[in-house]
Amino acid sequence: MDFICVTMMIIIGITDSRADQHGAAPAAPLLAVSGEDVILPCSLKHNISAVNMRVEWFRLDLKGSVVHLYEDHEDKNTNQLQSYRERTELFKDELQKGNTSLKLSRVQISDEGLYKCFIQSKTWYDDITVNLRVEAAGSPPLITVDELDVFGGLRLQCESKGWYPEPELVWLDSEGVTLTSENTDKQKETDGFRVKQMITVYNRDSKYHCRVKLTKLILETEIIISSKIFNSLRSSVILISCGAVLYIVITGILIAVFVHKKKELQIETKRLQSEERRIKNEHETLLLREKRTIGSEIPMLRKFAVNVTLDPDSAHPRLILSDDGKQMRFADKQPEKVNNNMQNNFDIRYCVLGKEGFTSGCFYYEVEVKGLSDWFVGVARESANRKGWILLNPENGYWTMGLRGGKYQACESPYVPLSLSVEPQRVGVFVDYEEGRVSFYDLESMCHIYSYTDQSFHEKLYPVFSLGYIWCKNSTPLIICRDLS
């Protein structure tokens, strides 16, 4: 079974919340240094042997994300990500003790991310999430002497580049006391972060340090300021002092111009605010008009209503389907055994398909989602993958929308957040096969929710229903509506 990654939609740091959890998860993010080796921790409680189990490490934030696979007593890394080739290793001698940790050699910045350790036996499975953070040192800090200011102070600038993540830059005096800087400039570049900071010093014959640091990495450069440096720049101070008088005169003129421009800006701001209110009113009028239009559209859509029943051969083992195939809910208890012979069912997402498939024309169905904390509805193509951590987006053959973590979203790539004025209780799904359109409607408020348009359908489409992932436990049933009046 090939596991497909999920993106940042997976909540960071959350692991499987099953009551009988066999794995021990790390308490905090793991920090590594670029170029060094790191061990991603994962182990089974009570020293349960993992020799006869399937152990898979993969990335949650990458597609096709196999990092290391152990199965049938050997490594099977045919589908391993290219960037991890010859850099991963399990501790084979420790598998007997339940140690399934992964050694990652020569760490790179691109290795940073969320890793999932998935362990499966013949009777149960478990997983642990490891958050890996990577640090990389940049160039040694470079100190340059700029000039004396009008008060006789010497300006020092420190710069360093190539750091990851964004480092901290501080100036210290000879006693190790942190100095206050005038300004700090930080920029993200292709090879890492560049930091630059300037201070002004007045003490002659003194030593100053510029230090750039991360959690594990520190680089430092020092400079000794002598009286000769101050004397060589004294003539520049005289010229600057003369220029200060001219600066004051010019500043006065600029202030007068600024006051005048400020008044003009206030007038323009009031005009723009009035225009914004006008546009907002027009927008609200259009929304009301659209709502009335949708209200008249629903009876027409219901002419394409089809009888949808749930297909038990595609259902996740933790889903209970009603005898008439019109309801699904989450099972309170996990099955004693995982049926590995079920080829067509979902094994990670709590999903099920409809029995009826369509290859042309239009069809429509409605579903009741009242009281559900996590749900998704839509359609899926016949060949869509049902195994592993799949995303229900068009790239994977799914056209869906729903509720997850209290937020409504359409499963585009990336996800599209949906701002709904009311929570949908009953949702209508309309599909026009030839036009390549999948639309969703809120039947309570008679509002259009979202549409996928300009899609290309070349194979049979099935209704699809989901109650979330393995940590989501909806006790309320999802119901396919019979009465479409």
210-259: pLDDT as tens digits: 999 999 899 999 998 876 655 555 544 444 444 555 666 677 677 777 77
Residue 229, amino acid:
I
Helix, strand or coil, per DSSP, at residue 479: strand
Give me the pLDDT at residue 5, please.
Answer: 37
Phi, psi of 76 (to 5 degrees): -130, 85
Which element (helix H / strand E) includes 65? none
Residue-range domain boundaries for the chain: 23-135, 142-232, 238-299, 305-480
Give me the pLDDT at residue 4, please.
Answer: 38
Question: In the numeric block, which tokens belong to residue 316?
Answer: 């996740």
State the Cα–Cα distance between residues 281 and 365, nearest whole angstrom.
Answer: 34
State the Cα–Cα distance between residues 340 and 333, nearest whole angstrom.
Answer: 18
Locate tokens 């010019």: which residue? 250
Give the CATH fold of the 142-232 domain. Immunoglobulin-like (2.60.40)
Are the CB atoms for 10 and 62 separated by under 8 Å? Answer: no
Whole-model pTM: value is: 0.44
Which residues in the chain show pLDDT less than 70?
1-27, 147-152, 205, 227-249, 252, 275-295, 334-342, 470-474, 485
Give the CATH fold of the 305-480 domain. Jelly Rolls (2.60.120)
State the Cα–Cα distance between residues 92 and 481, nearest whole angstrom.
Answer: 53
Going by their DSSP bridges, the two strands 30-33 and 125-135 should be labelled as parallel
Give me the pLDDT at residue 175, please.
Answer: 87
Q: Which residues contact 428 (CB under 8 A, 6 or more apart)?
A: 298, 301, 364, 365, 366, 440, 441, 442, 443
SS3 per-residue string spanning 274-295: HHHHHHHHHHHHHHHHHHHHHH
Give me the pLDDT at residue 279, please.
Answer: 56
Are 142-232 and 305-480 in the same CATH fold? Answer: no
Cα dist from 470 to 89, 374, 412, whole Å: 28, 11, 22
Question: In the numeric block, which tokens belong to residue 388?
Answer: 């592993």
Q: What is the DSSP letter of 465?
A: E
The number of CA neighbours under 13 Å toward the Cβ of 117 is: 26
Residue 240, amino acid:
I
Are the CB atoms for 60 and 120 separated by under 8 Å? Answer: no
| Number of helices followed by number of strands (H, E) in the chain | 2, 32
State the Cα–Cα distance between residues 440 and 61, nearest whole angstrom.
Answer: 28
The number of CA neighbours under 13 Å toward the Cβ of 341 is: 1
Which element (helix H / strand E) includes 314? none
Locate tokens 């100036």: which residue? 171
The gap between the terminal CA atoms of the chain, to the nearest Å, is 43
State the Cα–Cα distance between residues 30 and 113, nearest whole angstrom.
Answer: 10
Query: 23-135, which class in CATH?
Result: mainly beta
Are the CB atoms for 164 and 95 separated by under 8 Å? Answer: no
Give me the pLDDT at residue 298, please.
Answer: 84
List beta partners, residue 169: 212
Q: Which residues contact 439 (CB under 8 A, 6 or more apart)?
A: 429, 430, 431, 448, 450, 451, 452
Phi, psi of 102 (to 5 degrees): -115, 130
